[in-house]
Structure 1
C-alpha cells in the first residue's frame, strides 16, 4: 500500500537531517514565546498592558531589523559561528531585560534592553530551510522539506503560547519569558554544533564585492511585500479573536479559535508537502496568495463563537501553502551566496506585518467593536492576494541568474 507520507520519510534519510530539523524546532520556540512572554512579564509586574504592548513591539521590530544582518553573517562566515555569538548575546540581553523589569529598573532601560535583545535574535527558521536547500537537489523534495518546516512553525505557535501562559500564571510572571528564551538558546547552540550540514560559505573572488542590497531581487521584494500583508493578518487575528471572545463572554475560547487557525495551516502544510501541484513556482505562489485572500473573507460573517472557530480553521488552510510557495520561489532564485539572508528577508516582511496588524486591529476593536474589526484581517488577506497578482508581472521575468555556491 502506497504511503502518502513517503516524501517526508524520503527527505529524512538525508544524513543529519533529523538532528538539524529538531534542533531548529527547539531554537524557534522564542518566536512564539518571547513577544507574549514579555507582555505577561511586564503586565504581571506593572499591571499595564499598554506598556507591555509597547515593549513587545520594540522586541519585534528590533528582531525584524537585526535578523537579516545575522543571516548576512551566516552567508559570509557560516551558520555555526554566527549562531553561537548571536545566541550568547540573545541570552545575556534577554535575561538582563527580564531582570530590569523584575527589579523595577528605569522604564527607559526596559526599552533599550528589549531592543538590544530583539536585535540579537537570529532567524533560525530561515537557517534550517537553508540547510534543507543545500541538502536536497530535487525541487519536489525541497517543497516537502519547506512544507514540513511550516508545520513545525505552526506546532510551535500552538504549543508555545499556552505553555508559557501557564508558567507565568502558576509560577511567576518572568517564568514564561525566561523558559522560552532558554529553550530557544539551547536549540540554537545544538544547531550551531552541527557544522557538517550547514551550507558552505561561498568564496568571493578577489576584488569582488557584493552590495548590501544585491540580495533584494525583484522576486524577493514582491514576495516580502506580499508577506507583509500576510503578517498583518496574523497580528490582527491575535487581537480581534481575543476581543471577540471576551465580548461573547467566553475568553477561554479565544485559544480554541486561534488553535483552529493554526490547525488549519498544519493540515494544509502536511498536504502541500506531498501533493505535486501543476504549474510553475510563480503560478503556485500567485494562486496560493489569491486563495489566502479569498479564504479569509469568511471572517466577515463571524457572528458567534462556533462560526469563528469554523471560519478560523478555513482561513488557516490557506496559510501554509502561501508561505511554502513564497519561500520555494525565493529559494529557487536567490543567489546561493546569500541563501540565509534571502530567506530571512521574507520572514522579516511577516514580522513587520504582525506588528502593524496588531496595532491596527487594536485600534479597530476600540473604534468599531470586535466583530466589525474582523475587517482588518479580511482586508489584509485581500491585499496579499492583490499584491501577488500585481507582482506576477515582475515575477514572470526571471532575476539575474543565481550564483551557485
Structure 2
C-alpha cells in the first residue's frame, strides 16, 4: 500500500511547541528567520534605487541567492558533524562583515560585478538557522504526528516571515536611506542566530557518530532526494520570477512603494490555507503530491498575467499564495522518507539550496523579461516553466517511495511508503 502523511491537529502544534527545551530555540529562531525574505529583497530594492536598473538589481539579488544555495549545504554538512553552535557563531561573524562591505560598495556606486560578488559572499555566510532549527526536532520529539506538527510549524512560520519580511523591507526602503532594510534584516538575523546557537538544546545536539560517506553530493546522492530537490527548485523558480515581476508591475503603475506589500499578499492566504492543509493534506501519497502541487501552482502563477490593475493583481496573488505553504510543508515532510540517515541538517539544506537556486534563476530571468517586455510576460513564462518541471516530477514520482531501513523506520517514516 502507499502510506500517507499524518494529519495533524491544533493540539499537536501546541504539544510540539510546548515540549521541554523547545522554548528558547523557537523564540531565537523566529528572530533569526524573520529576515529570511528581507535580505535578498532588500538588496534588490536597495540596488535598484541606487542604479535605477531592475536588471542589475536582479543580478545582485540572484547572486545573493546563489551564495545562500552554496553556503546552506556546506553549513548543513558541518552542523551534522559538529552540531550547530560553533558553525553558527562563526558564520554570523563573517556575515556581518560582508554585509558592511556590500553596503560600502553600493554607497560608493561601485561596479555591478563587485556588487554581485559581494552579494554572493553575503549569501554564502548567511547563518543557516532554519535547517538547524528543523533538525533539532529530531532531538526533542520522537517520530510521529507531533513531530509532523513541528515540521508543519517550521513551514508555516516561514510563510509568516514571508508575509512580514517583504512588507517590512518595502517600507524601510522608502525611508531617507534605502539601506535601512538591509541593516535591520541583517541585525535581526545575526542576533537570532547567535541566540539560537547558545541555547541549551542547540549546545546539547551531538555530532553524528558515524557520518555517511560517499560522493561529494552527500544527502543528494539518493534518487529520492534529487526528485525532492527538483520539486524545490521549481517552487523557487516560480517564486523568484514573481518576486521581481510584482514590484516591477507596481512601479510601472506608479506605486513603487507598495511592491513589497503586494508580495506579502502571496503569503497571507498561504498561512491560513497552510494550517488547514496540514489537517487534510492532498493528494495523500507524497509521490503524487509534489508534482500535483507544483503543476497547479504554475497555472495560478500564469494567471497573474490577467489582471490589469494592482487591486486585481492582489486578489490573484492571494489565490496563488494558497499553494505556497502546502509545498513547503510537503518538502519538509518528504525528507523523512528520502533523506539518508545522519543527514538531517544537510538534507534540509539541500532543499533550501534547490529553492534558492531556483529563485536566483527566476529573479535573474524575470529581471530581464520585465526590462524587455512586461510583468505579464514574466508571469506567463514562469507558468510555462513550472508546467514543464511539474511534468518532470510526474515522471520521477516513484523515486519518492521510501525504502524502510528497519521495522521501526517502516512505521516512523512519514510522507509515503510501500507495502
Cα distance in 2 between the residues matched to 1:49 and 1:93: 22
Distance in 1, Cα, partners of 2:217 & 2:317: 37
Mapping for residues 204-243 of structure 1, pairs under 5 Å: 204=210, 209-216=213-220, 217-243=222-248
Q: 1:295 to 1:113 in 2, by over 3 A?
A: closer
Aligned length: 400
Moved more, 320-329 or 287-296: 287-296
2:208 maps to 1:202: yes
1:269 is aligned to 2:274: yes
Q: Which residue of 2 aligns with 1:170?
A: 175
1:127-166 mapped onto 2 (5 Å cutoff): 127-166=132-171
Contact 2:40 2:61 in 1 (8 A): yes
**Larger mean Cα displacement after TM superposition, 155-164 or 41-50:** 41-50
Moved more, 43-52 or 219-228: 43-52
The residue correspondences of 1:1-400 to structure 2 (distance < 5 A) are 5-103=10-108, 109-197=114-202, 199-204=205-210, 209-216=213-220, 217-252=222-257, 254-275=259-280, 279-396=284-401, 398=403
Moved more, 124-133 or 343-352: 124-133
Distance in 2 of aligned mates of 1:52 and 1:293: 25
Displacement of 1:306: 3.4
- Relative to structure 1, is the Cα distance of residues 396 and 307 closer, same or farther in structure 2, using a 3 angstrom cutoff? same
* Paired residues of 1:238 and 1:358 also in contact (CA < 8 A): yes
Q: Distance in 1 between matches of 2:392 and 2:402?
A: 16
Q: Could you tell which deviates more after superposition, 167-176 or 67-76?
A: 167-176
2: CA distance between counterparts of 1:352 and 1:70? 16
Separation in structure 2 between the aligned mates of residue 377 and residue 50 of structure 1, nearest angstrom: 17
Q: Residues of 2 paired with 1:88 and 1:349: CA distance?
A: 25
| TM-score normalized with structure 1 length | 0.88
Scaled by the length of structure 2, the TM-score of the pair is: 0.85
Q: CA deviation at 1:332?
A: 3.1
Moved more, 370-379 or 340-349: 370-379
Cα distance in 2, alignment partners of residues 303 and 109 from structure 1: 38
RMSD: 2.9
Which runs of no fewer than 5 residues in structure 2 stay unpaired?
1-7, 413-419
Q: What SS does the aligned partner of 1:173 have?
A: coil
* Structure 1 runs of 4+ with >6 Å offset: 399-404
For 1:174 and 1:254, the matched residues in 2 are separated by 17
Give SS of 1:314's match: helix
Higher mean C-alpha deviation, range 286-295 or range 8-17: 286-295
